[in-house]
Structure 1
Amino acid sequence: MDPNTVKKIAKDYSYQYVCQGDPIWPNDLTIPSGFLEDAIKNRVDQECESVYKCLEHILNQYEGEHELHHAFDVRRLPIPRLFSILPTPSVHWRSLAISANALSVFVKNPLPRGYANQLRLFYQVFNFKLLGYSSIEELMPNGENDVLFGNIVRSDGFCVDFLFYKRTSGTADEISTVNHDLGIKDFTIEEVTQLYRPSFLDPGRKTVFTAAIGLDPDVHQVRRCTTKEYYHLTGSTVYAKKLQQEKDTAGITAIESAIPSAKTARNTQFLRYVDYILANMDTLFTFYGFSTAKHRFNLYQGKQRAPDMMVNMLLNGGAKYNKKKRFKKEEQKTKTT
């Protein structure tokens, strides 16, 4: 095809089609039936074959270096890491994305074109008032919106995610930074003692933060949140322990520990991996079923809650540094009983 014709198609038709404009196909150009499908298929097949052969050769050389490497030989450079040529499938519970294409099929309406029409379709099906939007005009792009809906809904059967895009703080022209040029000399010790509560914050390798509260060099409180405490606040450590116990009971630990490696360029070893996965796929799918969706949502809640709890620990001490708050829940339970 003539390069000028290709540029004309890309400008007048393809670009307009992607941007939801008015695509115009050249009247003097006709493409035979099946021409594009065959061209794309042949191109993809050729590219995949060449890329696969290149990766297979590299991986084969890496495997040879691993076989010649001795476990305690420190004189040689670190050996390269093996990789998988083909994507490895996941057996975990997945989320389903509902786009405008899928939603139009469910409600038996023609596929709407453009952002505004697709937004109206989602607004008709879902109740956005529960999300804090009383009218569709709040989500229509007008140049002043702080949040725009992405016209995509994801669900794993337990929870539903509505994808929103949040506006950034603004461009360099819109941001006006006020520099007060305040230093230590601008504050007196009496002013700091009466009006402020100084906190000297320092991050660490094993702690998220370590803060010294107060000005007294002899009597002051040191508040810290370790990395172990952070993961405990998110709930990931408790969930990992519980999950490991369930794996041991169901025999999943033995199955997963015996999975052959898929990082190989040799057909026999890769076929061994495929046979093993197919033989144990039903067991893995049953274990990582719908029940894991609730645990994943709880972990998401924990990740959202942990930063607020750390801020409360830093500013107010929290239950860790305030003994009166430790047994407050137990006292409430005894009063109710």
Structure 2
Amino acid sequence: MFSGVMRSDGVQLHIVFSRLHHGPDMPVIATPDLANEDVNGFTLSGVDPGRRAVVTVSYGRGNDPHGIRSMSSKEYRTASREIHEQHHLEHRKSLPLPPAPGPPLPYHTMAEIETNTPMAATADPLTIRESIHHKLLCSESALAFYDTSHARSRFELRKGQQRAIAMTANYITTGSKKYNRSCRVKRHTRRNRKQRKRKAQRRRQVRQSRLKAEYDDIVQCIERLSAARDQQAYHMDQLLRVSLDDPMSLQPRSRSVTQRQAFAVSLNEALDMHVSGHDHATTTLTTEIEELEEQKQAIQRQYLTSSGQR
């Protein structure tokens, strides 16, 4: 006789056959079969994975309320540092690929290669052939990405799994705290605190340097715009002073009065158009200067806020 098991992850289907063992049946032990001395010092417990917990344990018997201990999946992942390593790997995948021998690829990051890889879990021979071709084409880049430096991340994941399993087993069996402050090494704590303080200071200095550079750039822009506005106003004032005092005097007296009056009218019309353009340009420059002044004040507030954080 054979026994069969079917396992599926939603895409693939595995069928496992095994031959049943022939022989006498295994003994079945019930609670009345145990003597009192066999259970002294032990407590009955029920283990259930639960919906949002890795494991949930209930201790006690009878109708009295039972103590319940559970380890959530978030606590388990935090103990194993799985999320931290996953974020680190995703960041590495978003970086440009290292140089690899072979023809240039149309992909620039490892994330693009994995995203565009055809799915191999299919019964279509053409899709399987395309998947194999894609993997062989990008094999050099994949090997260059998953090199010996990637072994450290896998080793950290393995240590995290062992640490999370041991932590869960210790909490369930002994009921100890999930985080024991006395386990912290004070020497390492002081060192880590100093390192965090130095890193925060360096980040603050970089942020302040960036804000100072932006502030200086805005101040220079305001000075240039103000100088352009003042220069334009000066030239416009000189032009109006020369033209509007006596526009007819700009023409030679040999011309008739009618010609000089026509010239004065044309000049005044041109000046009106020029004044309108001057007013529009001045308004634009003033608006830009006001916006830059507001941006400068915002940068000043950010700089003072970052300086006050210690």
**TM-score interval, smaller chain:** 0.3 to 0.5
The structure carrying a bigger helix percent of its residues is 2
Larger radius of gyration: 2
TM-score (norm 2): 0.38
The structure whose RCO (Cα within 8 Å, separation 6+) is larger is 1
